[in-house]
């Protein structure tokens, strides 16, 4: 039974049935405000709402109802900043159409022109695409906008940030002047306001509250830590979450590489995304993340654009975002589709005022918490191990295992046998001395009169960021080298690379290689224990890892072909 919330918006019975099949029960704030206006009014609309508030359905549902089946021409054009978002929005249109004979197609760079041209020739009612590829098709006369009824600019501020404004203006200048234009943006910078004034007619602005439905479902907390403790703090959060599935935001691509490398070294299923990663590899990484083959994705803001996943348990700000709007945009990726989520922000003591500025600007509650202690991590792992063993016993164990267990407890204390097996399986995970110490800043005293306690204004916030960026540019060569994740010596007790051989492997991400597959390959082909392999770094076409000298000889012997003239697949890395 469909909730009355959608019935009150002026939708037809056919549309209500499609919404019911989709599984929507109650409209979000932006849907309540936008849908009736698109259906009833003839004016243009500007919707200011955060990611995750249901804005795609807000414009797709009424547009579908107003479209004419088999019109024989393109009726709606939706411009988006990324190929991922183009695919998602097109899928949303097609999933909401119900039995109505209309079709939506994604158009974006990187896909074959022939494929897209064939799709357009068959006839589509809605094109969702990136501005660059749309310009190409318009110049080739493969697409006409002369009879368009709707133009939608989705995530307009992101398209501005990516430099698409000139392309957008070019496209708008070629559209039917009687069209209706709908513009959606999380923020409203001056350039977007100017664009709206130039290309939109009589218009109405619809805003949603900063602390909308998405934010209410997101538990926002922050940890005050030293910069050097952030990696260990991140590990503890992952280790104390039952099924962690999260997005970790870094400020630069070097930071992404560094964090990804360190988490990979510690055995986490993680990948990194930034602007230097090819589109093909990016798609593979996102597919693995959506299929939960990896559960930790490290990314810059730019690389995460268009990433729309409803099931994230966590969004972690490994570094503070540049402004409050970016903070809301980041955390809007969790606490979605009626599910609760957690937004975690790491700050150093010097960044406290920045965080207070974000808190005051967004009018949201961000509470301080203490980093999970070592005992918390160990106790959590104990419970997890116990639960896993219990589930295995409930399913039943093969006779070979049972007979071996009986044989072992004949001559040994059963408790000692179980303890030895746990230690053998989980190595040193339950021993406190194997965890790096984190400086506890939870009880740090703050003076009421201190300058650091006063929330800074927008200009001061910007100046502080400019100074920090300047200092980052003047960092020493050694610091920049370390930030790239090039085998930093600061790896605590988790890594012991001293005295090991650095190995080069001519396989990488394009060969579907990940840390887990690498460890399995070394175990299977060279019988090298995963415990001896550290410093794993996987690039697009090649990889590096560290092993003791003895094992390096075995790997060189076992993995390389004996055929003369054939290039070895693995070698000792050259240089330091």
- CB–CB of 497/491 below 8 Å? yes
* pLDDT (0 to 100) of residue 51: 62
Residue 568 lies in a domain: yes
Residue 107, C-beta contacts closer than 8 angstroms, at least 6 positions apart: 86, 116, 120, 127, 128, 129, 130, 133, 134, 137
**CA separation for the pair 156, 55 (Å, rounded):** 13
Question: Does residue 151 share a domain with residue 274?
Answer: no
Predicted confidence (pLDDT) per residue in 489-510, tens digit: 333 333 356 678 889 999 988 8
Which pLDDT score is estimated for 338? 61
Identify the pLDDT of residue 456: 57
Q: Is 70 exceeded by the pLDDT of residue 440?
A: yes
Percent of the chain whose pLDDT exceeds 70: 85
Beta-carbon neighbour count of residue 71 at 10 Å? 13
Q: Which of 183, 207, 231 is the C-terminal boundary of a domain?
A: 207
Contacts of 262 (CB under 8 A, 6+ apart): 231, 485, 488, 491
With bands split at pLDDT 50, 70 and 90, how would you rate the model's confidence at 556? Answer: very high
pLDDT at 493: 34
* DSSP H helices in 435-514: 458-473, 477-483
Give per-residue pLDDT as tens, 131-150.
999 999 999 999 999 999 99
Statement: residue 215 has pLDDT above 80: no
Supply the CATH number for residue 547's domain. 3.30.70
**For the chain, how far is it from start to end, CA to CA, in angstroms?**
67
Chain segment 360-417, per-residue pLDDT in tens: 877 788 999 999 998 888 898 888 888 888 888 888 888 888 888 898 999 899 999 9
Mean pLDDT for all residues in the chain: 82
- Give the span between the Cα atoms of 80 and 63, in whole angstroms: 17
Does residue 285 fall inside a structural domain? yes
The reported pLDDT for the residue numbered 38 is 94
| The pLDDT of residue 114 is above 70 | yes
Instruction: Judge whether 240 and 384 are in contact, CB under 8 Å.
Output: no
Q: Is the pTM here over 0.85, yes or no?
A: no
How many domains are there within the chain?
A: 4
Residue 481: band (very low, low, confident or very high) from pLDDT cuts 50, 70, 90: very low
Task: Give the pLDDT of residue 454.
Answer: 52
Together in a domain, 379 and 453: no
Same domain? 26 vs 141? yes
- For 89-110, how does the pLDDT look when each residue is reduced to its tens digit (9 = 90+)? 998 899 899 889 999 999 998 7
392 in the same domain as 366: no
Same domain for 400 and 445, yes or no, is no
Residues 148 and 287 reside in one and the same domain? no
> Which phi and psi angles does 184 have, rounded to 5°?
-125, 135
Q: What's the pLDDT at 213?
A: 42
Q: Does the pLDDT value for residue 241 go beyond 60?
A: yes
106 and 31 within one domain: yes
Residue 490 lies in a domain: no
135 and 25 within one domain? yes
**Whether residues 470 and 500 fall in one domain:** no
For residue 472, the model assigns a pLDDT of 40
Same domain, 36 and 117: yes
pLDDT at 2: 44
Q: Is residue 489 part of a domain?
A: no
The mean pLDDT value for 175-195 works out to 89
Q: How far apart are CA 166 and CA 134, in angstroms?
A: 13
The alpha carbon dihedral of 251, 252, 256, 259 has a sign of negative
pLDDT value for 445: 58
Whether the Cβ atoms of residue 79 and residue 160 lie closer than 8 Å to each other: no
Q: What is the structure's pLDDT at 138? A: 93
Give the per-residue pLDDT at 575. 56
Helix (H, G, I), strand (E, B) or coil at 271: strand
Please check whether residue 488 lies inside any domain of the structure. Answer: no
- Residue 81 in any domain: the answer is yes
My answer on whether 322 and 221 are in the same domain is: yes
Q: What is the pLDDT of residue 48?
A: 85
Both 61 and 187 in a single domain?
A: yes
In a domain, 332, yes or no: yes
Tell me how far apart the alpha carbons of residues 135 and 472 are, in angstroms, rounded to a whole number. Answer: 38
More confident residue, 133 or 161: 133
Within-domain flag for 543: yes
Range of the domain at 568: 496-572
- What's the rounded Cα separation, in Å, for the pair 219 and 366? 8
């Amino acid at each position: 039974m469909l909730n009355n919330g959608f019935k009150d918006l002026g939708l037809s019975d056919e549309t209500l049935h499609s919404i019911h099949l989709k599984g929507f029960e109650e409209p979000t704030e932006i849907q309540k405000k936008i849908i009736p206006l698109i259906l009833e009014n003839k004016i243009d609309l500007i919707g200011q709402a955060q990611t995750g508030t249901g804005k795609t359905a807000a414009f797709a549902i009424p547009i579908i109802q107003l479209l004419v089946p088999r019109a024989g021409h393109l009726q709606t054009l939706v411009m988006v900043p990324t190929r991922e978002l183009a695919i998602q929005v097109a899928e949303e249109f097609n999933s909401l159409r119900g039995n109505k004979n209309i079709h939506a197609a994604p158009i974006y760079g990187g896909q074959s022109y022939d494929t897209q041209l064939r799709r357009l020739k068959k006839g589509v009612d809605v094109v969702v695409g990136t501005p660059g590829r749309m310009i190409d098709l318009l110049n080739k006369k493969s697409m006409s906008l002369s009879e368009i009824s709707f133009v939608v600019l989705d995530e307009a501020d992101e398209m501005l940030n990516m430099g698409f404004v000139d392309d957008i203006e070019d496209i708008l200048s070629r559209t039917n002047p009687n069209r209706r234009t709908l513009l959606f943006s999380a923020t409203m910078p001056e350039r977007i306001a100017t664009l709206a004034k130039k290309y939109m007619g009589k218009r109405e602005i619809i805003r949603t509250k900063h602390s909308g439905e998405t934010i209410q479902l997101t538990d926002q907390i922050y940890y005050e830590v030293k910069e050097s403790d952030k990696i260990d703090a991140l590990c503890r959060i992952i280790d104390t979450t039952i099924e962690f599935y999260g997005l970790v935001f870094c400020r630069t691509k070097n930071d992404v590489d560094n964090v990804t490398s360190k988490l990979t070294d510690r055995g986490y299923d993680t990948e990194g995304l930034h602007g230097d990663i090819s589109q093909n590899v990016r798609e593979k990484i996102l597919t693995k993340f959506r299929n939960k083959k990896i559960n930790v994705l490290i990314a810059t803001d730019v690389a995460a654009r268009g990433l729309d996943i409803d099931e994230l348990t966590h969004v972690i700000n490994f570094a503070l975002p540049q402004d409050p709007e970016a903070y809301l945009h980041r955390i809007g990726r969790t606490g979605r589709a009626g599910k609760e989520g957690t937004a975690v922000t790491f700050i150093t003591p010097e960044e406290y005022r920045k965080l207070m500025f974000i808190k005051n600007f967004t009018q949201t509650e961000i509470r301080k918490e203490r980093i999970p202690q070592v005992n918390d991590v160990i106790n959590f792992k104990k419970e997890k191990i116990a639960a896993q063993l219990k589930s295995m016993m409930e399913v039943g164990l093969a006779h070979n295992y049972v007979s071996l267990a009986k044989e072992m407890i004949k001559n040994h204390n059963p408790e000692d046998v179980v303890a030895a097996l746990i230690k053998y399986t989980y190595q040193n995970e339950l021993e406190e001395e194997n965890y790096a110490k984190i400086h506890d800043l939870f009880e740090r005293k703050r003076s009421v009169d201190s300058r650091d306690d006063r929330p800074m204004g927008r200009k001061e916030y910007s100046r502080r960021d400019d100074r920090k960026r300047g200092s980052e540019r003047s960092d020493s060569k050694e610091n920049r080298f370390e930030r790239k994740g090039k085998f930093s010596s600061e790896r605590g007790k988790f890594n012991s690379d001293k005295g090991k051989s650095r190995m080069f492997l001519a396989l990488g991400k394009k060969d579907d290689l990940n840390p887990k597959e690498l460890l399995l390959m070394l175990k299977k082909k060279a019988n090298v224990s995963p415990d001896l392999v550290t410093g794993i770094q996987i690039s697009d076409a090649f990889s590096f890892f560290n092993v003791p000298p003895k094992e390096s000889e075995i790997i060189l012997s076992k993995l390389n072909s004996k055929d003369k003239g054939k290039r070895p697949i693995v070698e000792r890395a050259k240089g330091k």
